[in-house]
């Protein structure tokens, strides 16, 4: 499968693809349920009631749970989940087994809304409740097992189709912020190099120029020559391309999700044929081979996999005349979309879907089975296509982000090399030449030359400090944006509530924020993080709260850089606290008193 390179319009294409596939797949689930309602008895009350329930389920799924930007931790989302639960289970006494496909929506939406490990417990309970609520209708054990497996598989498909488009959007948004973060780290390294290389040496030169002696002049010459050589070496090294500065984005989530859904569909196809052990055996073999071809062969040799899948689908159906022996027929259509060019791929997809209607008609099955065969082939093919393409998009975005971050760091390194050469190369050369000249002059003339050397060294030292400060200074706004992007890429739901912060304390708070986010990503498995900046009449506070620390874990407040942060905050008269809260979250809070000028400005009465 060749992946398209992401370009300017790539993000809009992925969003359109996701919306179209989600709409079609969800509509297929709803239409299938409606067909079975009609098959069980098409009275006006049943038709109207089922349409109202199905329409509301579709609205909640597309308009709330699957909509990018929805706050799935909000009260509205939890109320919607409760409403969905009522729509999934309350109508069961009226529509009976026709409603067996609806719990998949609830299972998938529970994974989206419920937090922590509890979501998987709810997911399993919903899957188990589906067959348990229908035992009284006399369904055989194989059908009950099918409903359990279908809820698990459909739930994962609903979850993945709803989750991955938002993940792609977040990754695209995060690319520039992560590149900025890589540049900021490189700038800190620049500042350290400047101070280590030149700060002490230039200070020594300034002191030595007050001593008019042969040994002092010789020492100045040695320091200047060494510093000039260091500048040239460092400037040259910074012109070399850097290694990748971007941490890889794990693509494990879409891979595991795709694997689980593909295997789930294979198990469902086998259980569906449980009414006949011979048919079930043929379906199990063909389904298992198709699953292997999809997961192991399709990514490496796509056309061979497509031919093998088609053979496993249509071969058993033609030989036995039974539509249920073809494993997962929709995977032939999904593989065609992935392997063939766009128009032939969609044409092949349509032929696969139509063929499943034909084989059911030839087998003499009722209209409900004919419609089910076509809907199932459509859904299974689109789910395979969407999850595979979205997985490849995540990988492509990761590569693009790494390239962008590397390019940004390269530009910054070149700028730093130019700064070293332009600002300090001339000054150090002048110091060396004038000091060598002073070595050959009379004491009076040497004193005059050394005075000029002292002025040049002072100016060079000021340049070093100015450049180092400009590279070292952190922007609180930039750190907030970088924190939001980093946490989003790591799969952490982040909420930022930031107010105005006086510039006198913004740099220190930016450092606290960076260290806090770094520790969170390094030491915890958080799923949610709240970052708050608040300013009162006399105090500004930064608070980082996350849910990534188990209740029994204790952490020292002086570890992982917290001790250094405490020292910096206390230097401004503030205080820093880090530890567990009664709500079993981990909180880092820095409080810094406002400077007097800021206090007087914020305390002015409002007329």
Over residues 147-187, the pLDDT tens digits come to 898 899 888 888 888 876 666 666 555 554 555 555 556 65
Structural domain total, the chain: 1
Q: How large is the angle between the packed helices 302-320 and 277-292, nearest 10 degrees? A: 170
With a cut of 90, say whether residue 348 has pLDDT above it.
Answer: yes
Q: Does the residue 94 lie in any domain?
A: no
pLDDT-above-70 percentage for the chain: 71
Show the domain range for 592: 474-607
Residues listed for the chain: 607
Please tell me which of 153-157, 233-237, 270-274, 449-453 the model is most confident about, judged by mean pLDDT.
153-157
With a cut of 80, say whether residue 65 has pLDDT above it.
Answer: yes
With a cut of 90, say whether residue 23 has pLDDT above it.
Answer: no
- At 526 the three-state DSSP class reads coil
> What pLDDT digit, counting tens, does each position of 451-480 carry?
877 777 777 777 666 665 555 456 788 778
- Whole-number pLDDT of residue 248: 43
Q: Does the residue 508 lie in any domain?
A: yes
> What pLDDT digit, counting tens, does each position of 509-524 carry?
887 887 788 778 767 7
With a cut of 50, say whether residue 349 has pLDDT above it.
Answer: yes
With a cut of 60, say whether residue 241 has pLDDT above it.
Answer: no
- What's the mean pLDDT in 209-236? 69
Q: Does the residue 578 lie in any domain?
A: yes
Instruction: Give the whole-angstrom CA distance, residue 458 versus residue 344.
Output: 73
Q: Does the residue 214 lie in any domain?
A: no
- Whole-number pLDDT of residue 187: 59
- Whole-number pLDDT of residue 517: 82
User: What is the 3-class SS of 585-598, one letter each residue?
Assistant: CEEEEEEEECCHHH
> What pLDDT digit, counting tens, does each position of 352-383 carry?
999 999 999 998 888 888 888 898 899 889 88
H-type alpha helices, 366-502 = 367-419, 426-438, 443-472, 476-489
Instruction: Give the whole-angstrom CA distance, residue 9 versus residue 180.
Output: 23
Q: Does the residue 526 lie in any domain?
A: yes
- What's the mean pLDDT in 40-44? 80
Please tell me which of 163-167, 373-377, 419-423, 565-569 the model is most confident about, judged by mean pLDDT.
373-377
- What's the mean pLDDT in 559-563? 54
**Residues contacting 590, CB < 8 A, separation 6+:** 508, 509, 512, 541, 542, 543, 565, 569, 574, 575, 576
pLDDT-derived band at 90, boundaries 50, 70, 90: very high
- For residue 532, list its beta bridge partners: 497, 543
Q: Is 82 exposed, middle or buried (0-12, 13-18, 19+ CB in 10 A)?
A: exposed
| 590 phi, psi to nearest 5 deg | -115, 130
Within its chain, how far is the Cα of 83 from the centroid?
A: 29
Q: Does the residue 188 lie in any domain?
A: no
Instruction: Give the whole-angstrom CA distance, residue 2 versus residue 157.
Output: 24
Q: Does the residue 191 lie in any domain?
A: no
Instruction: Give the whole-angstrom CA distance, residue 241 versus residue 204.
Output: 34
- Whole-number pLDDT of residue 413: 62
- Whole-number pLDDT of residue 81: 93
With a cut of 70, say whether residue 246 has pLDDT above it.
Answer: no
CATH of the domain at 576: 3.30.565.10
- Whole-number pLDDT of residue 10: 39
- Whole-number pLDDT of residue 325: 87
With a cut of 60, say whether residue 605 has pLDDT above it.
Answer: no
Nearest alpha-carbon partner for 36 in 102, 88, 85: 102
- Whole-number pLDDT of residue 555: 44
Q: Does the residue 420 lie in any domain?
A: no
Mean pLDDT, the chain, as a whole number? Answer: 77
- At 530 the three-state DSSP class reads strand
């Amino acid at each position: 499968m060749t992946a398209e390179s992401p370009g300017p319009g790539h993000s809009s294409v992925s969003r359109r693809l996701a919306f179209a596939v989600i709409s079609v797949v969800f509509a297929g689930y709803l239409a299938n349920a409606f067909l079975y309602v009609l098959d069980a008895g098409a009275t006006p009350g049943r038709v109207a009631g089922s349409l109202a329930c199905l329409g509301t389920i579709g609205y909640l799924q597309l308009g709330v749970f699957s909509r990018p930007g929805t706050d799935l931790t909000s009260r509205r989302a939890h109320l919607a989940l409760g409403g969905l639960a009522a729509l999934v289970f309350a109508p069961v006494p009226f529509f009976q087994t026709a409603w067996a496909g609806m719990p998949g929506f609830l299972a998938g939406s529970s994974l989206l809304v419920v937090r922590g490990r509890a979501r998987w417990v709810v997911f399993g309970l919903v899957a188990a409740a589906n067959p348990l609520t229908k035992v009284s209708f006399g369904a055989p054990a194989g059908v009950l097992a099918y409903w359990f497996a279908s809820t698990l598989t459909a739930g994962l498909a609903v979850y993945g189709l709803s989750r991955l488009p938002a993940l792609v959007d977040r990754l695209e948004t995060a690319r520039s912020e992560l590149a900025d973060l890589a540049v900021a780290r490189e700038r800190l390294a620049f500042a350290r190099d400047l101070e280590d290389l030149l700060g002490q040496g230039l200070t020594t030169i300034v002191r030595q120029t007050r001593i008019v002696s042969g040994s002092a002049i010789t020492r100045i010459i040695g320091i200047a020559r060494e510093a000039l050589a260091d500048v040239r070496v460092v400037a040259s090294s910074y012109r070399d391309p850097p290694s990748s500065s971007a941490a890889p984005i794990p693509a494990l989530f879409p891979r595991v999700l795709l694997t689980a859904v593909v295997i789930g569909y294979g198990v469902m196809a086998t259980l569906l044929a449980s009414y006949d052990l011979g048919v079930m055996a043929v379906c199990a073999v063909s389904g298992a081979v198709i699953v292997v071809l999809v997961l192991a062969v399709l990514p490496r040799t796509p056309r061979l996999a497509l031919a093998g899948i088609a053979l496993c689908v249509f071969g058993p159906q033609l030989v036995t005349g039974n539509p249920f022996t073809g494993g997962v027929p929709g995977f032939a259509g999904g593989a065609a979309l992935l392997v063939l060019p766009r128009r032939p791929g969609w044409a092949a997809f349509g032929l696969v879907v139509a063929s499943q209607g034909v084989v059911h008609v030839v087998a003499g099955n009722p209209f409900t089975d004919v419609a089910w065969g076509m809907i199932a082939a459509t859904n299974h093919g689109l789910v395979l296509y969407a999850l595979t393409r979205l997985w490849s998009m995540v990988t492509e975005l990761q590569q693009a982000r790494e390239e962008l971050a590397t390019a940004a760091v390269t530009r910054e390194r070149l700028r730093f090399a130019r700064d070293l050469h332009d600002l300090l190369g001339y000054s150090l050369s002048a110091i060396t030449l004038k000091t060598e000249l002073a070595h050959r002059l009379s004491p009076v003339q040497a004193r005059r030359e050394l005075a000029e050397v002292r002025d040049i060294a002072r100016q060079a030292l000021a340049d070093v400090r100015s450049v180092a400060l400009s590279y070292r200074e952190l922007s609180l706004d930039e750190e907030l944006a970088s924190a939001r992007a980093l946490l989003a890429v790591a799969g952490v739901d982040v909420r930022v509530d930031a107010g105005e912060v006086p510039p006198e304390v913004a740099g220190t708070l930016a450092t606290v924020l960076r260290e806090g986010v770094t520790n969170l990503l390094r030491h915890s498995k958080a799923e949610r993080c709240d970052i708050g900046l608040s300013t009162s009449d006399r105090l500004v506070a930064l608070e980082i709260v996350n849910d990534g620390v188990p209740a029994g874990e204790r952490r020292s407040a002086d570890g992982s850089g917290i001790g250094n942060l405490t020292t910096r905050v206390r230097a401004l008269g503030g205080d820093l606290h880090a530890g567990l809260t009664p709500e079993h979250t981990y909180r880092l809070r820095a409080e810094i008193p406002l400077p007097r000028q800021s206090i007087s400005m914020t305390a002015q009465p409002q007329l």
